Amino acid sequence: MRKKSLVWFRNDLRLADNPALAAGIGAGAILPVFVLDPAAKWGGASLWWLHHSLAALAQDCAARGATLILRRGDSTAIIPALARESGAAAVHVGRSHEPWLRGVDRAVAAALKSDDIAFERHRSALMFGPEQITNKTGGVYGVYTPFSRACFEAFTARPPIDVPERIDGIGDVASDALEDWHLLPTSPDWAGGLRETWQPGEAGAHKRLADFLDTGLDDYDKQRNLPGAPGTSMLSPHLHWGEIAIDAVWRAAEATKTKRTEGRQTFLKELVWREFAAYLLWHNDTLDTVPMRAQFADMPWRDAPDELGAWQRGQTGIPIVDAGMRQLWQTGWMHNRVRMITASFLIKHLLIPWQDGEAWFWDCLVDADAASNAASWQWVAGCGADAAPYFRIFNPVLQGLKFDPQGDYVRRFVPELAKLPNEIIHAPWDAAPDALHKAGVTLGKTYPRPLIDLATGRDRALAAYKSIGAASE
Ligand code: FAD
């Protein structure tokens, strides 16, 4: 007998390779639903992305005969009510690792059970259910390398699930209008750079993947650390919103013919870093606020709102840091190498709590992800799982010279320094007055002086880390 289902979209805004959707369609007619739940606390850039991604998904559903139902409010009330109203026998949903959804899922499951409606959660966003991967003693991995080994051994991407040709929708259910949610910025409209950079939605995700496999995969291992080169996939927001399945990306990377294997292998390892972050969040649901290593609660952080503001605006006077922060503001994304440099500068040179940086990234990133963001900030701070050692304090000048040797990246995002020669573009404060003059740079006027002397900041950070006993471990 054909049964009706409610398909609840969350971090899986796609039609291809969507097991929850396939299960619903396999049983009969479906009601596709997305709920804008205030408990999610998405940042501004995420809301911008969500608007466009939902518009694309709604269009893709409509082209196949179904209406995507949009509702705003408490998911624990809305989903059971819609399931009852539409006569669904089951609710199908992609499993999510985000802490706020755990309580939601428990409440929804209980409400549905009392109405005799099944609640079926499908593996969708991740390679595994986070509780599936355990170490030899059945415990939780705290270190990436053995975790990744276990993932590589156990994972086989599932075979493709095609986009359905037709979706038999359940009619006559009221929906909000997407425009009424006002997810896009109005005045000021800060999203111009985001519009130029991204095509949210499933089609944009597949295009991004195809481009990367064509031009980026082969030399990914060599190019991925150079922020001035288009050397990484830029798939992170598409993966975060589930516009493309992790299985689809993995399968495609494995199937692409390459001249060498190192590029592919390094890329697959990065996908496993994403998995590791989700795994850590699953086992530590306060990852975004509470340091995993307890003594970090006693770090002598500084309260320096002006310096935090200068960092946020890309006005620290350290070119590679400012380039990264401006890339973030303009495009909603920042290159991974520069995420590490800017985070290290905030936490270590400025001694500002990593949670303040995490919160800013959360608001500005189109790929803001509860797991990857929190785990990465803890990693840079030295208080997370498998974290960078406390004494590894990136020198932003040396990082710039190594990874942006021609200064292309700095010139793109800090145009006021564009005429400086390569040798001094990463440390204009060391340049001869004549060289600055020729390039039209006046420190303190056209470009800020550094917020801090780098050696002084480094010594202060090392002393702070020693004061909490980080050095004695
Ligand atoms: P690629 O190099 O092409 O990698 C492919 C995919 O692997 C990425 O799309 C991403 O899903 C995953 N990946 C790559 N590196 C990492 C990593 N270090 N940790 C987890 N997953 C990874 N990533 C997010 O998706 N969301 C975040 O909110 C986020 N915040 C970060 C904050 C800081 C301080 C740092 C240092 C890193 C953060 N990252 C975050 C990880 C990483 O910077 C981005 O995933 C990467 O830059 C995305 O670009 P890409 O898609 O071109 O990556």
- Residue from 47, 41, 100 nearest 76 by CA: 100
373 within ligand 1 shell (Cβ under 6 A) = yes
Atom nearest to 334 CA in ligand 1: 47
Distance CA 92, CA 9 (A): 9
Catalytic residues: 270, 273, 301, 336, 354, 377
Supply the mean pLDDT for the chain.
96
pTM confidence score: 0.97
Does residue 472 surpass a pLDDT of 70? no
363 within ligand 1 shell (Cβ under 6 A) = no
Which long-range contacts link 163-166 to residues 24+ away (Cβ below 8 Å)?
163/15, 163/16, 163/60, 164/15, 164/21, 164/22, 164/25, 164/64, 165/64, 166/64, 166/65
Residue nearest to atom 6 of ligand 1 (CA): 271
Atom nearest to 224 CA in ligand 1: 2
Per-residue b or e along 355-389, where b marks 16 or more CB atoms closer than 10 Å to that residue's CB: bbbbbbbbbbbbbbbbbbbbbbbbbbbbbbbbbbe
Q: How far is the CA of 458 from the centre of ligand 1 (A)?
A: 26
Name the residue of 126, 264, 270, 383 to mutate for ligand 1: max ligand atoms within 8 A of Cβ: 270
Domain at 294-466, CATH class:
mainly alpha
Q: How many CB atoms lie within 10 A of CB 74?
A: 14
The label of the residue with tokens 């940042």 reads 43
Name the residue of 336, 346, 354, 360 to mutate for ligand 1: max ligand atoms within 8 A of Cβ: 336
Pairing mode, strands 30-36 and 69-72? parallel
Atom nearest to 362 CA in ligand 1: 28
Q: What is the pLDDT of residue 469?
A: 84
Domain regions of the chain by residue span: 5-124, 126-159+201-283, 294-466
Residue nearest to atom 2 of ligand 1 (CA): 232
Q: How far is the CA of 142 from the centre of ligand 1 (A)?
A: 19
Q: What is the pLDDT of residue 473?
A: 54
Q: What is the pLDDT of residue 2?
A: 81
Q: What is the pLDDT of residue 1?
A: 72
Residue nearest to atom 21 of ligand 1 (CA): 274
Q: CA distances (Å), 76 to each of 4, 85, 233, in order?
A: 20, 15, 36
Name the residue of 367, 380, 386, 392 to mutate for ligand 1: max ligand atoms within 8 A of Cβ: 367
60 within ligand 1 shell (Cβ under 6 A) = no
Q: What is the pLDDT of residue 156?
A: 96
168 within ligand 1 shell (Cβ under 6 A) = no
Q: What is the pLDDT of residue 388?
A: 72
Matching CATH number, 5-124, of 3.40.50.620, 3.90.870.10, 2.40.50.110, 3.40.50.280: 3.40.50.620
Name the residue of 226, 372, 373, 394 to mutate for ligand 1: max ligand atoms within 8 A of Cβ: 372
206 within ligand 1 shell (Cβ under 6 A) = no
Start-to-end Cα distance in the chain: 63
Looking at the chain, the whole-number percentage of residues with pLDDT higher than 70 is 99
197 within ligand 1 shell (Cβ under 6 A) = no
- Domain 126-159+201-283 matching CATH 3.90.1170.50: the answer reads no
User: What's the pLDDT band for 398 if we cut at 50, 70, 90?
Assistant: very high
Q: Is the backbone peptide bond immediately before 80 cis, with ω within 30 degrees of 0?
A: no
Residue nearest to atom 20 of ligand 1 (CA): 274
| Residue, of 172 and 24, whose pLDDT is higher | 24
Segment 181-191, tens digit of pLDDT: 999 998 899 99
User: Are 5-124 and 294-466 the same fold in CATH?
Assistant: no
